[in-house]
Structure 1
Amino acid sequence: MASLDVDGVLAFVTIAELQSFTRAAEALGTTQGAISVRLRRLEDRLGHRLIERTPRAVRLSAQGALFIDAAREFLAAHDRAVAGLSADRRRFALGIAAHVAGPEVPTLLARLNAHDPALTIEVRLDNSRNLLDAFDRGEIDAAIIRREDDRRDGEVLAPDHLGWFATPDFAHRAGEPLRLASLSPTCGVRDIGTRALDAAGIPWKVVFLGSGSSVVSDAVSAGLATSVFSCRLAPAGTIEIGQRFGLPSLPSSQIVLLSTLTDAKSRQALRTLAVAFREHRP
């Protein structure tokens, strides 16, 4: 029976998740050549090619697709075993923007806990602007936010497209203020929508001000108002109504990861979260 080498399995999983030898080497703090050697040794031990590499793509082979889940479980078990012998407990504070966080977030955090049981993550949900301020003040160690203004630092995780969403029977008469449901007045996504309406000369009125994204979603789902949502996170049962009512188009942005973490293990844990976040993007 072939024995598994932890470094080889880690190289395989990282290459598979990042779909790049170069990015995998960067994530693991080594060279592309070293990553290739680790993968080749693992494939030799198992007697199967796990990764298919072409000039245009890096993807799992048929055998690699069969092995990937077991490989992840192997790494998680290894990390739990090592963490159980260590008193090195670590923590970091992570901010996730309300307009970014979807129903997959608990699953992502569970994966991170399995990856590193010695790590405690303190999660803060808020709007992107507040989280960016908190990050700059050093109150949180990392943040996954919608890119604000002209700031260009951070790692891009995914594109983010906005739209006007409401129920199919939502009614709006031309000339009347557009009924909006909104988070706090400091919400950057709200500002994008209202600035677009002002520029188009369309009157608007906030008729439902919520303290959380789920409350705003409930108001829109009930047909009380429309609101700006990421197209990934629009409430179930709603549709994009911008063209139907002649509402202005909204600019796309990017979801970015900001981090000041220097500890290698914490950085690797955050990398695991970033990879998992990408997997859940449509």
Structure 2
Amino acid sequence: MRIDMRTMRCATALFLALVLGACAHVNHLRDAQQTFSETSALENQSRSGGGTVPSSVQAGYSSVVLSLQKLEQDGDSEKRLKADNLWGNVQMLKALAYWRMGNYDKARAARSQVGSSLPPGSRDHALSMALDGFIKNDEAFAKLQQPTGDLDEIAKLVLSADDDLNRASKTLPGAHALNSYLALNGLGAMSNLSVACAQLSTGGDFSKANCFSNRGGPCRVKAWEDKLKALGVADAEVKAVVGKLSTTCPAATPAPGQ
């Protein structure tokens, strides 16, 4: 089973709900979150059905960015959001919207404004750590669609992405729902590596037969598989997600992050 990162990343909307009060600046943020969630759901539905993503998806994410920029331009709202410890959430939501628009530089720039405003162990703090991994996965997937791809370049991207996702996951409590999403993205990275090995490997130690295993793919897949099972995901569902990716990890070889 090929794990399509374009579809998997749509699950981000599941993790954007905040319990917020009724102040105007907070309502503005809540409305932006709602728009993001609705846009993500539409994108997910379109991609899952194999159809063309409607232009309203890009427009929806653009609307989120514009809405948040208005908050930033309102000095009073900015002060109130910072006082309520929500400024980092504003920047992270904007970063996610830019990511989904494919504007990776602006996504990283918005994330850089988060600073230390998000408490370690929180969902948005983990998302801020995982953002580079999300982007690298998308970049690797895009390179796989090109007529001539570079195996080493793609492998470097996906292995680095997997490391980013592992680091983000470690900041969360084990049963946190976001861990499931990070695991799916990690498996997506490994799927990209597997496809790159099948399509681009030419010989030597990284021949098609050894390319995936020699780059540590099976151990990384096994680590994410174990995480999904620990989260209570049914075995049949885990197998459906992992698909044909190898999980034969030598016992003496520690999984990434272990």
Structure (1 or 2) with the larger CA radius of gyration: 1
Instruction: Identify the structure with the greater helix proportion.
Output: 2
Same fold (TM over 0.5): no
Instruction: Identify the structure with the greater strand proportion.
Output: 1
- TM-score when normalising by structure 1: 0.27
Higher relative contact order (CA 8 A, sep 6+): 1
